[in-house]
Structure 1
C-alpha cells in the first residue's frame, strides 16, 4: 500500500478507465479538497457549471455521446439542486455517477448541527431521496472504498442508470491499494446455453412471418448496439423503423429504414408496416405516451419478439442472460434473408425524394424551418432537440448518416438540452453539435451558455423565439398569463456571457434571412453560432399539434 495513492485517486482512476475524462459540478466546502485531486488528475478535466442542475444535465448529455459521465456537488443544497437531472438520467437510462462531498465522519457520527443540513443531526435524508432515482448507492469509508467504488461503478455501467457515491471530506485522502484488475472483467455475459436454446425457438417464428419488421428504440444506443442492429437488418433484409426516443439508433439514410413510428400519428406507410406486421422484432423499446401518439399503437403484443439489454422474450418465454448484441448476432445467422421487393420496402429517403426547398421572402414557419434544417445537417453531427416544438419538429425530420439525436421525451424536463449540449460537445469536440431549443426552455438554463464560451466549444444554437410556452398553450390556457414569458434580447446574450470574439449571432424572421445566416454559420465554424429564429406563437409542428390534444384529454 502506498500512502501517496488515495481513495480519491482510486475513484478517479476507475472513472477514467470507463472513459470519463471530464468532471462536471459546482464547488462547495464539502468537496473542495477532493476537487484538488480532480484538478491534478492527468486524465480528467474539471468543468465547473453555473449550478448543480445544469451540471447534471451536462453530465447526461456527455454520457449519451461518451458512454458514461460523472458530476460532483456539495452535500444537501448541491445534491438536491442536481436531483432533477439525475432523475431524468434514471428515467431514460443514462449512466451518470453522482458524487456528493459530505461532512466528516466525526461530524456525522456526533450528529452536529452543521450548515447544509436540516439542523436535526441527521445526515441520511438526501441519500435516502437519491435511492429513488439511482440504481446503486454507497457511503465510502476507508475500509469499504475499493469494493464499494467497484460495485457501484459496475452497476452504473451495466444498468445504464445513475448511481450515488457519498464521499466524506476525511475519507477521500485515505491510503488505498491501486486496482489490480479491469473493472469490466466482471461485466454481465450471455449464457451460451441460453443463446443456443433461443436460436432453436425464435428464428422459426420469424422465418414464418409474412410481414416482419424491426422496431428499434433508445436502449440500442445506450448499450452501443448500433452496429449489431445494422448487421442484423442487413442480414435479414427486414425494414427498420425507430421510435423518436431511439431516433438515430439506425442509419436513416439506409435503404431499409422506413421512418419514425408514432402510433397512429405516423405516416400511413409506417403505421401500416408496424401495426399490421405479423412479427415485430422489438429492439430496446419502451412504449411511452410521447412517442406512441398517446398510446395509439395498434399492433398485437402477441406478434412482438422483445430483445432487451440482457434478455430475449417472446410471449411467456424469456431467454436470459443474453445480451442485446449477442442476441442480434446469434439471430443474424439463423434467419432467412428476404429480398427488398418481396417485403415492399419504401425507404425514408425515397419517401422524401419529391420534396425540395427554395428560400422565399416570407416569414419562417415551423414546417419550413425543419425542412431547411434537415438539409443543413452534416453526417456525424450531434443534433439536440428540446422537448416541445423542437423535439416534435425534429422527430420526423430525416437525419444524415451517423448523426446522433438527443432528446428527452420521457422525462421531458424543459431547459435540459442547453446544458446537455455542453456535455455532448465536450464528449467529442470533433463532431459538430446543433441545438434546437425554444425561448421558454432556454430561459431556464441560459446561463450555461457562459460555460460553453469559457470552454471554447463551437456548437450551432437555434433559439426558436415564439413568445412563450407553446406546448403548454397547445395543451391548456392558450391565452393565459402563465404561458407568457418576458421577452429577452436573446441574440445579445453570447456577447454578455462571454468574450465577443468567440461567438457570432443572428436574428432572422424570413426564409431568406435564415438562408443567409446558415451560409455564414457554415463559414464561421470556429465560433459558437447563435441564431434567434422568430416564429408566430401559435405555429407548431403538426405532430405536436395533434399530440397536445391527446395530452389535454389524458389530463382530464
Structure 2
C-alpha cells in the first residue's frame, strides 16, 4: 500500500533541501510519532542527545559548518531546556530550526491540564518565550503547514538566525501536497541607486585615506562572504585585522593580515595601526566587550565605514538596502589599489617568533601549550575553543589557511563547545575537529561524550584541567569555594560513558608527555582522542589575565 504524503514528510523534505542530514534532539511523548518519520526519512539521520540543551548546542555547531541545522524536543520541559542554546544561536547569528512536539489540537483547544504545562490551560506561554530569541515562529495546522513551514525557513535562510516551529502530535501525519518547487531563498537584493550613491561618496573617502585598515568579524563567515573579503583585500592592498569571533574569515597567513585586534590588549603595533587608522572599513564586525579588550578601542566612529549584511553605514549616512556581498564586489571594482609600501603593514607571520618549538622537560604552561598547538594545526581543521582560558589562548594563536574557528564570545554559555563539537564533526566528517575546553565547562555538558562515542566520530579533545573556574577566579573570588569544582578522573570517562567504545586517552602534565600524546593523536585515524592536560590553576593566557581585570572593573 502506497504511503500517504504528510505534513511531517513535507517538513523533513524542506529541511533536507537546506542540506540538513542530521536531526538532533531528545524524545518525548509529544514528538515520538513524528520521530518515526525522522527515522524513516532516507536523507535524515536521528542523533539522540543526552539532554535538550546539549541538542541545541550540537545543532549550533552543526549549522556553523553545514549552513543550517535542526533539533526537536517535547513541549514545555524540553523546549525550555533548549532555549538557552537557541538564544546563543540568535545572539551569534546561527541558523537553527527548533521544532517542538506539542499536545493534540483537541487538548489545547479544550484547555486541558496535561503534563509538561503550567496547569492553566494556556499553551502559548513557551512559544511566546521563543519570540525573543527567534526571527520567525509558527504553530502548524493541517491547513497552514506548507505555507508556514516555507515562511519560517525562508526567514532562517535570510536572517541567519533561529526559527521556532510548534508541531502538534496530531498534525504531523495529516495529508499534505508535495512541494511544487524548490525552496528558493528570497535573496536580498541591493538597490542600485543606493549602491551607486555609496560608491560615489565612499570611494573617495577610502582612496584619500593614508592609513586605512579592514576590520572583519564573524558575519563574514555567517553570510559566506570570505571570498569577497579576500578579493577586496587583494584588490586594494589594505591591511586586514579581525575580531576574535571572526577568526577564519580571512587567511591569517596572508601578507596583509596583521593580527587579531583586542583594543588596548592588542600587540603594540596592531593597537597603534588600528586605533590611528584614518579609515576603518568594518566588515561584518560587531565590537563587544569580550572581543575588544573591554571596549578599549580608541578609534573614532567618524572614521568607520560599516559594511553589514544588508547595509553600509557611516557616522552620517546609511546606504540601504545593500548586501555585504554586493558592497564588497562593487568596492573591489571601484577602489584603486594602494601602494602597500605606504601602508605600514607588518604581516602577522613576520611578527611571530620563527624559531622551532623545542620541547622542554618541565610542566606545561598556558603560553607554551598554545605555542605548541599552533604548530599542530593543519589547513582546513575545525578548531573549537570554549569560553575562558581556551578561547583567549586560541584567540591570538595563528591558525592555518581555511581553518574554521568556533567560539561563543558574545553569548558565552560555558559548556557550549563540547556538544557543539558533536555537531561540527557530523557536519563534515572529512575535516579534523579539535576542541579546547576547560574542566569547569566540561563538567556542564560532559554527558555528550557518550553520544560522540556512539556516533563513532574521531575528533581530538584537549581537556585543560586547571582545577576550577579560572575565568571567574580572575574576575572575583580567587580563593572562594564557589569557584572550586570536584576533581574527576577525566581520562577514565571515555570508558565509563561507552565501555565498548573505542578511544585513545592520555593524561599529560609535562611538555614531553604532551609531545607523546600529540604524536599519537596525529597518527590515530580510528577513534576519538581524549587528552587531559594538567596545568596550574593560577596559570592563564595573558589576554585573559588582562581582560579579567577589565571585566572586574566593569562589573564594579
Task: Report the equivalent of 1:246.
Answer: 246
In structure 2, C-alpha distance between the alignment counterparts of 1:133 and 1:413, rounded to whole Å: 15
- Deviations for 1:228-273, whole angstroms, at most 9, x for unmatched residues? 1011110111100000011111011111111000000001111111
Q: Secondary structure at the match of 2:525?
A: coil
- Deviations for 1:365-420, whole angstroms, at most 9, x for unmatched residues? 00000000000111000000000000000000000000000000111100000000
In structure 1, C-alpha distance between the alignment counterparts of 2:539 and 2:249, rounded to whole Å: 29
In structure 1, C-alpha distance between the alignment counterparts of 2:182 and 2:206, rounded to whole Å: 39
8 Å Cα contact 2:384/2:406 also seen in 1: yes
8 Å Cα contact 2:50/2:451 also seen in 1: yes
TM-score computed with the length of structure 2 as normaliser? 0.98
Q: CA deviation at 1:344?
A: 2.1
CA pair 421-185 structure 1, distance change in 2 beyond 3 A: closer
Task: Report the equivalent of 2:329.
Answer: 329
Task: Report the equivalent of 2:200.
Answer: 200
Matches within 5 A, 1:231-380: 231-380=231-380
8 Å Cα contact 2:95/2:157 also seen in 1: yes
8 Å Cα contact 1:3/1:175 also seen in 2: no
Matches within 5 A, 1:402-441: 402-441=402-441
Matches within 5 A, 1:214-225: 214-225=214-225
Task: Report the equivalent of 2:528.
Answer: 528
Task: Report the equivalent of 2:46.
Answer: 46
Q: CA deviation at 1:181?
A: 2.3
8 Å Cα contact 2:389/2:470 also seen in 1: yes
8 Å Cα contact 2:237/2:338 also seen in 1: yes
User: Structure 1 stretches of 5 or more lacking a match?
Assistant: none
8 Å Cα contact 2:259/2:348 also seen in 1: yes
Which stretch has the larger CA shift, 500-509 or 2-11? 2-11
Q: CA deviation at 1:175?
A: 1.2
Task: Report the equivalent of 1:158.
Answer: 158
In structure 1, C-alpha distance between the alignment counterparts of 2:215 and 2:119, rounded to whole Å: 52
In structure 1, C-alpha distance between the alignment counterparts of 2:334 and 2:535, rounded to whole Å: 52
Note if 1:122 corresponds to 2:133.
no
Q: CA deviation at 1:499?
A: 4.3
Q: Secondary structure at the match of 2:264?
A: coil
Q: CA deviation at 1:345?
A: 1.0
Which stretch has the larger CA shift, 211-220 or 340-349? 340-349
8 Å Cα contact 1:494/1:500 also seen in 2: no
Task: Report the equivalent of 1:486.
Answer: 486
In structure 1, C-alpha distance between the alignment counterparts of 2:189 and 2:45, rounded to whole Å: 32
Task: Report the equivalent of 1:387.
Answer: 387
Q: CA deviation at 1:197?
A: 2.3
Q: Secondary structure at the match of 1:167?
A: strand
Q: CA deviation at 1:187?
A: 2.4
Note if 1:78 corresponds to 2:78.
yes
Q: CA deviation at 1:502?
A: 1.6
8 Å Cα contact 1:24/1:58 also seen in 2: yes
Q: Secondary structure at the match of 1:378?
A: coil
In structure 1, C-alpha distance between the alignment counterparts of 2:68 and 2:273, rounded to whole Å: 35
- Deviations for 1:12-44, whole angstroms, at most 9, x for unmatched residues? 111111111111000001001111111111111
- Deviations for 1:454-498, whole angstroms, at most 9, x for unmatched residues? 101000000000000000010111111111110000000011112
Task: Report the equivalent of 2:502.
Answer: 502
In structure 2, C-alpha distance between the alignment counterparts of 1:353 and 1:296, rounded to whole Å: 26
In structure 2, C-alpha distance between the alignment counterparts of 1:185 and 1:25, rounded to whole Å: 26
Q: CA deviation at 1:500?
A: 4.9
Task: Report the equivalent of 1:229.
Answer: 229
8 Å Cα contact 1:18/1:68 also seen in 2: yes
- Deviations for 1:300-337, whole angstroms, at most 9, x for unmatched residues? 00000010001111222212111111110111000011
8 Å Cα contact 1:154/1:187 also seen in 2: no
8 Å Cα contact 1:3/1:176 also seen in 2: no
Aligned residue pairs total 555
- Deviations for 1:408-433, whole angstroms, at most 9, x for unmatched residues? 01111000000000000001000000
Task: Report the equivalent of 1:442.
Answer: 442
8 Å Cα contact 2:30/2:74 also seen in 1: yes
In structure 2, C-alpha distance between the alignment counterparts of 1:222 and 1:269, rounded to whole Å: 29
Q: Secondary structure at the match of 2:263?
A: coil
In structure 2, C-alpha distance between the alignment counterparts of 1:100 and 1:314, rounded to whole Å: 41
In structure 2, C-alpha distance between the alignment counterparts of 1:202 and 1:60, rounded to whole Å: 36
Which stretch has the larger CA shift, 136-145 or 497-506? 497-506
8 Å Cα contact 2:517/2:531 also seen in 1: yes
Note if 1:112 corresponds to 2:132.
no
Which stretch has the larger CA shift, 90-99 or 354-363? 354-363
